[in-house]
């Protein structure tokens, strides 16, 4: 195994781990804010939770991007051909 | 472990190689078209139980279009509804044993995102003419033209990577867990995967609506624009 493959594996792990931190914090804040809003205005819980779901999936996409980059590094690395 | 980026080729049709995902796509298309034909063949004014159920779905799609786009849903119902129905059925097709969802392969998602890209142009030109559509690129002021132009490409790309990444990661994780532990362990993950699939189909349709509405109307509504108008308390 050459050093290029080694660096690829390590950076794939780095991409997933650091890429998960930001979305995790953001999702926590989003859910907390939505809970707050629902507690204040229970009658608008439907709209809030629908928007929350869309927003959560948007935030989660950032982590998914990192996962795609990691999988590209592991399975379709152009430098290792 | 099999790479999630390559797709297995089943057979060749002349020079074109037909992969597994394409065959699954054909099967899903067949099911959807046959279902639509069978259901809409005997429509009655007093709906049967099945007809009432599907009318409920169409009403829901109409309501979502009206909420998100702030336009009459009739011209967009067919495109948005078909997009949602196809992605939903494709994401849930993993319930059939041995079937891998075609949206877990990047080609299917690329085709869907390309459809949205061209639909935005089509609906935009149809609503405001070519001048009107090109005018939306200079919408706040002409300095934004290059940014708006790049945005119309990158948002298509992010639409493709979002759907691909979410569905593929679900399939990938289930594959890993299945290779580690056997019979009943992956079931909660599969349930989570079904939820993700439904939400992603919904989001894909919502984003397509938002993009089309941005090209059709002057002020582009955002997904949360209907919830930001809160009543004074």
Mean pLDDT, each 10-residue run in order, chain B (233 residues) = 74 83 92 91 82 90 87 88 94 88 90 94 88 82 86 89 89 86 84 90 90 73 44 42
Residues 173..212 of B with a Cβ closer than 8 Å to A: which? 199-200, 202-203, 206
- The predicted pLDDT at position B219 comes to 44
- What is the longest distance spanned by two Cα atoms in chain A? 60
Taking an 8 Å cut-off on Cβ atoms, the answer to whether A64 and B223 are in contact is no
User: Strand B9-13 to strand B16-19: parallel, antiparallel, or no bridges (unpaired)?
Assistant: antiparallel
Secondary structure E strands in chain B: 9-13, 16-19
Question: Residue B169 CA to chain centroid, in angstroms?
Answer: 17
- The predicted pLDDT at position B1 comes to 63
Cα–Cα distance list, A4 to A8, B3, B44, B128, B166 (Å): 6, 19, 67, 53, 28
Interface test with A, best of B67, B109, B157, B165 (most A CBs within 10 A): B165
DSSP-derived secondary structure letter, B15: T
Q: Is the pLDDT of residue A34 over 90?
A: yes
Asked if B227 is an interface residue toward chain A (Cβ–Cβ < 8 A), one would say: yes
Asked if A44 is an interface residue toward chain B (Cβ–Cβ < 8 A), one would say: yes
Cα–Cα distance list, A30 to A23, A52, A60 (Å): 10, 7, 12
Q: Is the pLDDT of residue A56 over 90?
A: no
Would you state the structure tokens that stand for residue A81, as one six-digit string?
Answer: 């051909």
Question: If DSSP codes are grouped into helix, strand and coil, which group holds residue A1?
Answer: coil
Nearest Cα neighbor of B63 from B228, B205, B189, B185 is: B205
Taking an 8 Å cut-off on Cβ atoms, the answer to whether B5 and A75 are in contact is yes
Confidence category of residue A81, pLDDT binned at 50, 70, 90: low
Query: Within a 10 A sphere around the Cβ of B73, how many other Cβ atoms?
Result: 21
Higher-confidence position of A64 and B5? A64
Interface test with B, best of A47, A49, A77, A80 (most B CBs within 10 A): A47
Identify the closest residue of chain B to A46 by CA–CA distance.
B227
Mapping DSSP onto H, E and C, the string for A32-47 reads: HHHHHHHHHCHHHHHH
Report yes or no for ipTM above 0.90.
no
How far is B206 from B87, CA to CA, in rounded Å? 12
For each of the domains in chain A, give its residue range(s) and CATH number, in order of start.
1-76 (1.20.20.10)
Q: Flag whether the pTM goes above 0.90.
A: no
Question: What φ, ψ does residue A9 adopt, rounded to 5°?
Answer: -65, -45
- The predicted pLDDT at position B25 comes to 92
Cβ-proximal residues to A21 (8 Å cutoff; 6+ apart), any chain: none
């Amino acid at each position: 195994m050459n050093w290029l493959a080694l660096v690829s594996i390590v950076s794939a792990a780095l991409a997933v781990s650091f890429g998960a931190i930001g979305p995790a914090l953001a999702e926590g804040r989003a859910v907390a804010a939505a809970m707050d809003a629902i507690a204040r205005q229970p009658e608008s819980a439907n709209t809030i939770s629908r928007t929350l779901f869309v927003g959560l999936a948007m935030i989660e996409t950032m982590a998914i991007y990192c996962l795609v980059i990691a999988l590209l590094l592991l399975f379709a690395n152009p430098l290792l051909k | 472990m099999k790479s999630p980026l390559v797709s297995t080729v089943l057979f060749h049709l002349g020079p074109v190689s037909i992969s597994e995902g394409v065959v699954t796509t054909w099967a899903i298309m067949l099911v959807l078209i046959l279902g639509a034909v069978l259901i809409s063949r005997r429509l009655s004014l007093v709906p049967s139980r099945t007809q009432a159920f599907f009318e409920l779905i169409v009403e829901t799609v109409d309501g979502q279009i009206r909420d998100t786009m702030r336009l009459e849903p009739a011209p967009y119902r067919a495109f948005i509804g078909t997009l949602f129905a196809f992605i939903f059925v494709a994401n849930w097709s993993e319930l059939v044993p041995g079937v891998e969802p075609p949206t877990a392969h990047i080609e299917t998602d690329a085709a869907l995102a390309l459809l949205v890209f061209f639909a935005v142009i089509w609906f935009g030109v149809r609503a405001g003419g070519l001048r009107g559509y090109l005018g939306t690129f200079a919408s706040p002021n002409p300095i934004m033209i290059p940014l708006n132009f790049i945005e119309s490409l990158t948002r298509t790309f992010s639409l493709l990577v979002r759907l691909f990444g979410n569905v593929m990661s679900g399939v990938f994780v289930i594959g890993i867990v299945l290779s580690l532990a056997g019979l009943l362990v992956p079931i909660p993950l599969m349930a989570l995967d079904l939820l993700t699939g439904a939400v992603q189909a919904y989001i894909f349709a919502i984003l397509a609506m938002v993009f089309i509405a941005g090209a059709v109307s002057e002020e582009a509504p955002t997904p949360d624009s209907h919830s930001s108008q809160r009543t004074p308390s």
